Amino acid sequence: MKHIFLVMQQQTLLAQFVASVNSLSIAANRCGQRGMRNCCHRSNHSLIRQSNKKHRLSVCCQHRSFSNSPSITSSIAAQTKKKMAAEYKLKNITSLTDIQNFEKAESEVEGIEGAKVLVLRLYNEVHAISPRCTHYGAPLKIGVIQPDGQIRCPWHGACFNIRTGDVEDAPALNALHTFDVYEKDGGVYIQGEHDAIKAGQRNPNVACTSTVISPEKVVVIGGGSGTLGAVQTLRELGFKGTITIISSEPNLPLDRTKLSKALIADPKKVEIRPREWYQSASIDVIQNEATAVDFSKKVVSTKSGETFPYTKLVLATGGIPRRLPLPGFTELSNIFVLRFITDVQAILGALGEEKKNVVIIGSSFIGMEVGNALSKNHEVTIVGLEKVPLERVMGEEVGKTCQNLLEKSGVRFKMSASVDKATPSSSDPNKVGAVHLKDGTVLPADLVILGVGVRPATDFLKDNSVITLEKDGSLKTDESFAVPGLNGDVYAIGDIATYPYHGPGADPDGGTLTRIEHWNVAQNAGRGAARSIVHSLSSSQPLKSQTFIPIFWSAIGKQLRYCGSTAGGWDSLVLKGEPENEKFAAYYCKGQSVVAVTTMQTDPVMVKCVELLRRGNMPTKQEIEEGIDVLALGIPKNIRI
């Protein structure tokens, strides 16, 4: 029980920590001015950039947070704030002393219809912030406050700095507003601008308006999650060189995770940022396909014949869905994969208006999500190799719960099944008409969707003499996602990166090399690569990389959340809650160590476990079996991975 902190003990320790950090913050060129707005909270992060002499701004090496040198900036900011801000009374909070350490209270704002703020206490500081996560709008009142001044969203783990509202962890991209909060005349008030309170979120600071022209050229190949994390973080950290995205997708970066859950065919509905955003951040987005990289001359070649020189290159080309090399599958039409919006358009085109027989091959996440989405209007059969869907990743019990959920929506399953061939339709010999299984079952199919995995999209590097791809086609990287042997000038992120994972269960000597296909992992890797690039421009010392616990989510009738990694293996599962009512937390264990957690309808257990895994305070398997409540545990201040 040694590692289980009682909350009160922890608070005392942490109060001492705050005091020590506050004294550290006076030290020149160090990030850590905890009590001040617009300053980073970590005392061990150097302030790496004097980006603008007039305003004397420095930027933390790890975060986008700015640390203001005395006063010109802060006084301008204070004056502007004063001019714009007005005082608003909070309807539901009468005293700040009622809010205990690490507690939160949401309140309506008098005089602004529908507006709310979240007031929270961190030791002796009380803060007021926008109340909803900027990703999909989760209520932060059930988020998890961390002792180093962040709040983590209960749904998919986005992390915001409580003092500045800045995003510190994917998948959110917009920041929160923060407001001054105080007691007066028996009430609680905030100072804030009407529109900011109402909007509940703000764009990150990405404008690149410096007159200083930097010769640095970052080229990012790919237009997905990793790219978004990289380019936004570069600008937030004050990178003043050119940024060029080369993407083969016909649309701007979009929320790929929605494609299989809602089959949205209109790119405008899922593009994450409008074109004007890239323009305002001076980021060029070029639709083209990279065909080769000359790593010695530092030039990317493209299909159109154009070439793009770089000083730093970020490879973020994601995955290519696999197809089945079986009879019928290579030649017949109406057999689809699902990665891009063009795939969704093709699937919806083939489905038309009438009820169709849809056979989905593969019972992992893509197959399950598409099956769930199509079950409302079509006859769906999912074919899987395993005994139950998702078995390899989630285990039999969780997989069975997910299967039950989809069966309730009318989806049929053919599990422990191998596919033999596809045969043509009797009405059109070019189109698929049936899928044959090895046990002799014939499944009528108007269309087939393959969800049988992806391989890294690195074909354009296959014959490159400078780098060697891993067996699976991915690129090996170090902790900061730099590709070894290329002077720290080339990074590989997202679905194409095999990187050393250091979380629980990983090899304690150097980590376990793993490739993880999660939206958040790609975006956090992009953020990490950007930090590393910016750091390298002002320092010859390596930057300590900021590690993270992988987070994944899925929607299969109910929301499924997952954190951690089983890259180092798992040997048992402890299931708590009511799986029969789709309300549970499943703990994946390797020996006595919990290495990953899946939850359904038990928020914020998953994100609480992220912090416990990250900070080495996750209970043992035995403690979980004995019924320990993870939500009641304290979160230590030190990050252990």
Contact 363, 390 (CB under 8 A): yes
Q: What is the DSSP letter of 64?
A: S
Query: Which of 37, 127, 132, 256 is the binder for ligand FAD (CB under 6 A)?
Result: 256
Query: Which of 32, 224, 473, 528 is the binder for ligand FAD (CB under 6 A)?
Result: 224
Q: Which two tokens stand for residue 451?
A: 């969800």
Site membership for ligand FES, residue 133 (CB under 6 A): yes
Q: How many residues does the structure list for the chain?
A: 641
> Hey, which residues between 154 and 193 contact ligand FES (CB under 6 A)?
155-158, 171-172
> Hey, which residues between 316 and 375 contact ligand FAD (CB under 6 A)?
316-319, 338-339, 366
Contact characters 445-474, ligand FAD, x per CB under 6 A:
------------x--x--------------
Stretch that binds ligand FES, among 153-161, 205-213, 281-289, 409-417 (CB under 6 A): 153-161
Peptide bond into 171 cis (omega under 30): yes
Reduce the DSSP state of residue 495 to 3 states and report it: helix
Question: Shortest gap between Cβ of 523 and ligand FES (angstroms)?
Answer: 11
Q: Which is nearer to ligand FAD, 189 or 308 (CB)?
A: 308
C-alpha span between 607 and 582 (Å, rounded): 18
Which of 584, 224, 533 lies closest to 400, judged by CA?
Answer: 584
C-alpha span between 120 and 140 (Å, rounded): 10
Pairing of strands 454-456, 319-321: antiparallel
Question: Shortest gap between Cβ of 640 and ligand FAD (angstroms)?
Answer: 24
Stretch that binds ligand FAD, among 8-16, 216-224, 409-417, 421-429 (CB under 6 A): 216-224
User: Choosing among ligand FAD, ligand FES, none, which partner's interface includes residue 138 (Cβ < 5 to 8 Å by kind)?
Assistant: ligand FES
Contact 337, 343 (CB under 8 A): yes
- C-alpha separations of 495 from 224, 317, 516, 553 in Å: 10, 8, 6, 16
Query: Which of 64, 135, 515, 615 is the binder for ligand FES (CB under 6 A)?
Result: 135
What is the 3-class SS of 164-219, one letter each residue?
CCCEEECCCCCECCEEEEEEECCEEEEEECHHHHHHCCECCCCCCCCCCCCCCEEE
Q: Which is nearer to ligand FES, 143 or 384 (CB)?
A: 143
Question: Shortest gap between Cβ of 494 and ligand FES (angstroms)?
Answer: 18
User: Choosing among ligand FAD, ligand FES, none, which partner's interface includes residue 222 (Cβ < 5 to 8 Å by kind)?
Assistant: ligand FAD
Please list the residues that pair with 381 across neighbouring strands. Answer: 359, 412
Contact characters 79-118, ligand FES, x per CB under 6 A:
----------------------------------------
Question: Shortest gap between Cβ of 262 and ligand FES (angstroms)?
Answer: 15
244-267 as b/e: b if 16+ CB within 10 A: bbbbbbebbbbbbbbbbbebbbeb
Q: Where does this chain bind ligand FAD (CB under 6 A)?
A: 221-227, 246-249, 256-257, 259-260, 289-290, 316-319, 338-339, 366, 457, 460, 494-495, 517-520, 522, 552-554
Q: Where does this chain bind ligand FES (CB under 6 A)?
A: 133, 135-136, 138, 153, 155-158, 171-172
